Amino acid sequence: MWLINSSIGRKVVMSVTGICLILFLTFHCCMNVVALFSGEAYNTICELLGANWYALVATLGLAFLAVVHIVFAFWLTMQNRKARGTERYDVTERRSEVSWASQNMLVLGIIILLGLLLHLFNFWYNMMFAEIVGMETALSPTDGFGWIVETFKNPVFVVLYIIWLVAIWFHLSHGFWSALHTLGWSGKIWQKRWQYIGIIYVTILMALFLIVVLAFAFGCAPSLCAGSCAA
């Protein structure tokens, strides 16, 4: 099958799975922004996306996309390193058109993977997994708002999430337009346009995630103020 046996096919798989993951990040970002303004509304979404069959199917599908993307990323990286041989040890000046992110996608990928594992532990493990197996937790598995508050009270988690988000920004700033280029959706004119569009899009996306982290870390989210006023 050419999607697996050829280098171009593997890049297509990387591109398609990458675009799907960006779309998920967009949905996840919109969901997180809700938590800034209403803890009740956020928990309603969490209940809707709890251990229901459709949420489980979506989670399995998302996990499949993530695993395929990660495996193919390492596969292509090792293939490229093998093809370059000893040339990768030569000291050469980086060309201006080659971004720092494109030359460090493996390192960025490892940081993103470690951040993902931390995120899964803090939220998926204590929420969906706990609800499925009936595990006792400090908070209700459907109290997503409470888990956000609890997680970002810890300054260590705040710093780790910031590092994670910065790594994702660098990764996507290259991956966004690169995926479209691989799929043939950019030519001489549109390649630069997609680069600018991609940078603007992922900057807004990561900035919103960062705002959520910092707002809860410093206790200045409107939803927290509303909760304290109601109490």
| Residue 19 binned pLDDT confidence (cut-offs 50, 70, 90) | very high
**What's the pLDDT at 90?**
47
**What's the pLDDT at 98?**
52
Interval 169-178: pLDDT, tens = 999 988 888 8
106 closest CA partner among 174, 28, 181: 174
Q: Locate tokens 């569009």: which residue?
A: 197
Of 154 and 95, which is predicted with more confidence?
A: 154
**What's the pLDDT at 227?**
55
Q: Which of these ranges, 17-26, 89-98, 166-175, has the smallest mean pLDDT?
A: 89-98
Alpha carbon of residue 1 to chain centroid: 29
**What's the pLDDT at 97?**
47
pTM of the model: 0.86
Give the mean pLDDT of 117-122. 96
Alpha carbon of residue 144 to chain centroid: 18
Alpha carbon of residue 191 to chain centroid: 23
